[in-house]
A and B are shown apart, each in its own frame.
Chain A
Amino acid sequence: MRYAMAVDTNKCVGCADCVVACQTENLVPNGYCRDWIVENVEGAYPSLDMKFQSERCNHCENAPCVRCCPTGASHIVEGGIVLVTHDECIGCGACIESCPYDARYVHPEGYVDKCTFCIHRVDKGENPACVDVCPTYCLHFGDLDDPNSEVSKAMKDRSWYVLAPEAGTNPQIYFLR
């Protein structure tokens, strides 16, 4: 099993509904976020191109944050979801420095926090909150090993890219062109 997410950049409008849905679902304090929007503009008026990307932890197969964690708080569970055990985290910030995606932050309560793919929902067979709220239906989640999963179907016949492939992390958030 390999959980992954596909983001259809042709459809994303950058509204940040994913951000606020995550914040309310996961009690992320204001001023912090587990997912965010990037706007990319290219060209000069009037020959322009623009894409929005909804970004979050890439739940890397080769996760530098897990490798560098001195206490073992950062770990990978079944399905490849990268998690932080809050009680074991000492807030040293090594994982934050190691992450090429800037996906982690120190929670005001002292531990490092980030996207969990809403594992409390996924365990019950539901989608992450960001996926279920998206008004453009641009987020697709599921098991890449299952050809019938939403994410596999969304990626079929589509070209995609990942962020910072040069980091060798084998990230699991795929951006559909």
Chain B
Amino acid sequence: MKTRREFIKISTAGVGAAAIGLQALKGKGFKWFPEKFSGDPVSNEDLTPYPTYCEVCFWKCAGYTYVDKKGKIRKIVGNPNDPNSNGRLCPRGTGGIGMYYDEDRLKTPLIRETRKDGSQYFRRASWDEALDKIANKMKEIKEKYGPEAFGFFHHGTPGGHLAHLMKAYGSETDAEPAYAQCRGPRSAAYYATYGSYIGSPECTDIRDTRCLVLIGSHIGENMHNTQVQEMSMAIDQKATIITVDPRFSTPAAKSKYWLPIKPSTDIALLMAWIHVLIYEDIYNKDFVKKYTFGFDQLKEHVKDMTPEWAYGITTIEPDLIRRTAREMAGHAPAVVIHPGRHVVWYGDDTQRERAMGILTGLLGAWGYRGSLYIPEAMEIPKFPQPPYPETKWNWKDLNEGRFPLATMGITTEIIRASVPKYNYKHKVKAWLSAGTNLPLSMPDKPLFKEAVQSIEFFAVIDTMPMEVTGYADVVLPEATYLERYDFIRAAQNRYPSIALRMPAVKPKYESKPAWWIVKQIGERLGLHDYFNYDDYSEVLDWQFKQVGTSLEEMKKIGVKTFPRTSGPLYLDDYENFEFNTNTGKVELYSTEFESAGFNPFPVYKPHPEPPQNFYRLIYGRAPMHTFSRTQNNHNLWDLMKQNTVWVHPSVANLWSLKNGEKVWLKNQDGALTDFSVEVRVTERIRWDSVYMVHGFGHSDKKLTRAYGRGASDEKMITHYAMDPIMGGTGMRVNFVTFLKEDPYKNKKEDKG
């Protein structure tokens, strides 16, 4: 009998025409068949829906958790009234159920112990013991160094609860990888240019656009739900899609124009586009005249940045540069120059984002239907509490004047400030983290390891044993989002909305919600006034009542939408619109950059090229996984178990690499991947680069499904290019080569 076919198959009709599987499942090995998977499907009427919003990624789509009569979670389905999901969750949201059922979850508090022989292990601890230990350490650090020396790292809703605790305690020494390792350059650039942020979900009017321009952004591989849905609507409306990417990405395949750019040269392309718009006189004159500042200087600045100049840098033919610029101009202002999200690539990322903002301004593609709309979010009043104490120093002071336009803490700076040899004026002595797996989300793992050895104490709140929990002194098991109350989601959109997350079931094992955890620590520190409630539902009910609803009503509807009050969605409905910049205009010429000592205009600068026999490492996302946090979720693991390294056929030929062959990667600094990774020979990648999906190659054995599957791109990112403007860590500056022999064959090395 034939074995069952794998989920995701590839049949290549191009070069090397054999059909290859993305996943090598083929009925081999592990089949997981838990009790929940037996019986017949039941209709929705026999299930009870509980409102929630998703925590598998940051999009926070609202939906319902469906529970059967036996109290088992059966499925999670989108809420049709939610503007983020429109009733349709992405694969991760649909598979979020696996977070709850994961048998590898953290089950009890854990405390690190050292045996007589020096070896260490985790001991099960009671909640009281673990919380006492953390609270006592916090008191000790406060007495010895001041509360500011207790740094914290956070992401998502658990991170929000942690931030509340730490601010009440007296520390604003915080950072989240979502800033300096992700969207930070975008924030700095658009704030400088437009006086406002792009925000999340991004205020991109893709639904009504006539032209969507994606620069290294890959909607459909990232499942930023609303954007994926709206790109589909744009395809229906026959909008033009232009994709700039060295890789033939999913949206590239849906594009009228794919510009297979040489990596690291995007600024040259953007400046050439700007040149064409200005010197062919096809820019949006009304918008530029009415709303912008610095056009004449810009015209002079880009005088020599012709498509012919850019051709030699980008390898994009001048004719294609001109045609795509004209296409954008023809659709203006209904053009979305997508600002991207993970934009820390080469260390000059804020300037690249500036170039995108300038291009947007020349098209007038800001504030019009089909471009960037003016978003609005609901203001949720804060539950009564005393003001947070003043801090003597915070994340900003820690930077000692570097990265002046940073608006949030910079993760690598807090990590460096934890290492005595770097001699920071403000030293970090202990860490708390929630919802972020630092070893797999930060560049320069040796730095992380050094820092974590230097600090006096580290506690981690998470739902899963991740690499980060392995470094902790105390680990606290958090309930999953399906088992807890949480903040009100008040995300921006075309109109304001709020969403409730409530428990559908009781927390499994001994796990507890983050709001409960931080309250317990707060009470031990004498901070009761900041936690003046017994259950978080009291906070929610109070807040809901301030905005004209109640917990009772929200438990029924899950999502409530409100009319706009801040003003119209589009610029043409305003009489006078002043941008929140120094000049009150869209700053093509950035006065903010100039006064901070940076070039007011973007300039293309060459970046280092791969040495011989090395290839630039490009990484990205798969639609069924989020960062490094979902690989062990059995639903999502089932869809994609490991990453592969994409290699162009000519490179494969050179190295005699076959599809599915296992290789180890080594980078320019000699760093090795912990595990082997399968080669995927594909025409979809340039010959000077290789590509991997981020988040795989877990080295924590407690992740029984994810352990040892694929390779970690982060392990190859020992080098990063720091953005001097806001502290972003450009991570596409690493080069890898292939090892066909197991480099660990003759030596025992500490993996991870």
Contacts and interface: CB of A to CB of B under 8 A. Distances in A.
A89 interface: no
Contacts of A133: 77-78, 88-89, 94
Given A30-B635, A45-B648, A25 B7 contact: no
A121 B12 CA distance: 36
A31 B25 contact: yes
Residue of A51, A93, A137 with highest tally of chain B CB at under 10 A? A137
B440 to A, nearest CB: 22
Nearest to B635: A20
A15 B624 contact: yes
Given A46-B260, A96-B1, A135-B90, A39 B31 contact: no
A41 B37 contact: no
B509 to A, nearest CB: 21
B38 interface: yes
Nearest to B73: A24
A51 B624 contact: no
B31 A15 contact: no
B4 interface: yes
A79 to B, nearest CB: 18
B342 interface: no
A51 B690 CA distance: 22
A45 B260 contact: yes
Contacts of A28: 37
B8 A121 contact: no
A135 B88 contact: yes
Contact of A44 (B41, B78, B87, B683): B683
Given A44-B683, A109-B38, A38 B634 contact: no
B638 A24 contact: no
A16 B2 contact: no
A68 interface: no
Interface string B629-666: 00000111111100000001000000000000000000
Contacts of A96: 1-2
A98 B78 CA distance: 38
Given A15-B623, A49-B253, A24 B97 contact: yes
B95 interface: yes
Given A28-B37, A29-B31, A41-B10, A20 B5 contact: no
Given A16-B624, A16-B639, A41-B14, A105 B22 contact: no
B43 interface: yes
Contacts of A63: none
Contacts of B260: 45-46
B132 interface: no
B223 interface: yes
A51 B5 CA distance: 19
B557 interface: no
Interface string B436-458: 00000000000000000000000
Given A20-B635, A33-B638, A46-B248, 19 more contacts: A10-B235, A13-B250, A15-B90, A16-B8, A17-B94, A21-B94, A24-B94, A27-B37, A30-B638, A36-B7, A41-B683, A48-B684, A105-B4, A120-B41, A133-B89, A134-B88, A136-B229, A137-B232, A138-B232
A81 B232 CA distance: 29
Contact of A132 (B74, B88, B220): B88
B7 A33 contact: yes
A106 interface: yes
B15 A44 contact: yes
Nearest to B636: A20
B33 interface: yes
B39 A27 contact: yes
B534 interface: no
Interface residues of B, dominant DSSP: loop
A42 B13 contact: yes
A76 interface: no
- Interface size band for A: 35 or more
Q: Can you list the 5 inter-chain pairs with the closest CB atoms, starting with the nearest?
A: A13-B220, A15-B623, A50-B253, A17-B91, A31-B31
21 contacts: A11-B254, A13-B228, A14-B623, A15-B624, A17-B90, A20-B639, A30-B31, A30-B638, A33-B4, A41-B10, A41-B14, A45-B248, A48-B248, A50-B253, A106-B4, A133-B78, A133-B89, A133-B94, A135-B228, A137-B232, A138-B232
Contacts of B229: 135-137
Contacts of B292: none
A16 B41 contact: no
Residue of A20, A133, A138 with highest tally of chain B CB at under 10 A? A20
A51 B39 contact: no
B248 A93 contact: no
Given A11-B232, A50-B253, A23 B10 contact: no
Contacts of A121: 43
B91 A29 contact: no
Given A13-B250, A15-B624, A41-B13, A27 B684 contact: no
A120 B95 CA distance: 21
Interface of A: 10-11, 13-17, 19-21, 23-33, 36-46, 48-52, 93, 96-97, 102, 105-106, 108-109, 118, 120-121, 124, 132-138
Contacts of A27: 36-41
Contacts of A10: 235, 254
Contacts of B8: 14, 16, 36-39
Contacts of A19: 7, 91, 639
Contact of B1 (A37, A50, A93): A93
Given A11-B236, A44-B683, A108-B31, A51 B91 contact: no
A105 B358 CA distance: 55
A151 to B, nearest CB: 16
Contacts of A39: 8-11, 22
Contacts of A105: 4
Contacts of B223: 15, 17, 135
A51 B90 CA distance: 19
Nearest to B229: A135
B11 A40 contact: yes
Nearest to B86: A135
Interface string B506-519: 00000000000000
Nearest to B74: A24
Interface in B27-53: 27, 30-33, 36-43
A36 B4 CA distance: 11
B37 A106 contact: no
A123 to B, nearest CB: 9
Contacts of A16: 7-8, 91, 623-624, 639-640
Nearest to B61: A135
A136 B232 contact: yes
B225 interface: yes
Contacts of B308: none
Nearest to B10: A39
B324 to A, nearest CB: 14
Interface string B675-686: 000000011111
Contacts of B683: 41, 43-45, 48
A30 to B, nearest CB: 4
Contact of A25 (B9, B32, B41): B41
Nearest to B259: A46
B704 to A, nearest CB: 13
A46 B75 contact: no
B735 interface: no
Interface string B683-721: 111110000000000000000000000000000000000
Contacts of B373: none
A15 B91 contact: yes
B258 interface: yes
Interface in B58-112: 74-78, 87-91, 94-95, 97
Nearest to B22: A39
Contacts of A108: 31, 33
